[in-house]
Amino acid sequence: MKRVSINPETLISRIQAGATSNDIAGPANALGLALTTGDTGSVGIGGLTLGGGIGFMVRKHGLTIDNLLSAQVVLASGEIVTAIETEYPDLFWAIRGGGGNFGIVTEFTFQLAPVGMILGGDLMLPATKEVIRGYQEYAATAPDELSTIANIMHAPPAPYVPQDCIGELVLSILVVWIGDPEEGNRALAPLRALATPVADVVGVMPYPAIYKFTAHQEMQHGASVRSMFS
């Protein structure tokens, strides 16, 4: 259930529900295309899409689900239908955030976007109050071409992090700019001006390369999460 097919003329891709972000990113990039998907290459297209789908191009190209054209759904009766806006519109609405238990989606059809090389990477800044506040204020008004995913964390032993900075509290900003790299660098200038970067490895790269910065998140691990209302 991981087949990916792309029509380079219509920019439409059919993706089976078991595929991951990596499965679509590579073939699409080879054609100068991309689909905005999750923040890690191992994220499954099925769960991502039915949950909305925040990714590295969300400001420019919306959520993953915003690019959904149709879905093949197995109903409780065993019937296989294709839900689109004009056929089974209620079902098409339901699988795009209406809840669960409407059926099992086995294949998605997406509209891809023309995306060549991007300006992307990690801009790591000291996690001071001023930097965090400055990032939040600028991110809200930044051009749509600039999408960022930021984490407050202890600087990891990544190859690009100076040895004497490992363990320091930092604001790691993963950056993707869609468009002219020179314009992208101008758009990033306000963030770079917030403080002297701990590390700045933002550069021109193919879109799938951004997943190298989150590859460590693909490793299986155990976790316990608790939440409550008070």
pLDDT tens digit sequence for 47-97? 999 989 999 999 999 999 999 999 999 999 999 999 999 999 999 999 988
pLDDT at 181: 96
Q: Is the pLDDT of residue 11 over 60?
A: yes
> What number is the average pLDDT over the span 176-194?
97
pLDDT (average), residues 140-160: 95
User: Is domain 4-114 in CATH 3.40.50.410, yes or no?
Assistant: no
CATH class of 117-218: alpha beta
- Residue 222: band (very low, low, confident or very high) from pLDDT cuts 50, 70, 90: confident
The pLDDT confidence band at residue 111, using thresholds 50, 70 and 90, is very high
Percentage of the chain modeled with pLDDT above 90? 88
Residue ranges covered by each domain of the chain:
4-114, 117-218
- Nearest Cα to Cα of residue 35 among 20, 47, 50: 20
Model confidence band, residue 228 (pLDDT cutoffs 50, 70, 90): low
Tell me the C-alpha to C-alpha distance, in Å, between residue 43 and each of 70, 76, 100.
20, 26, 19
Mean pLDDT of 9-14: 97
Q: How confident is the model at residue 197 (pLDDT cuts 50, 70, 90)?
A: very high
Per-residue pLDDT, 217: 78
Long-range pairs of 129-132 with CB within 8 A, sequence gap ≥ 24? 130/194, 130/195, 131/171, 131/194, 131/195, 132/171
The predicted model gives 128-141 an average pLDDT of 96
Query: What is residue 218's predicted lDDT score, i.e. its pLDDT?
Result: 77
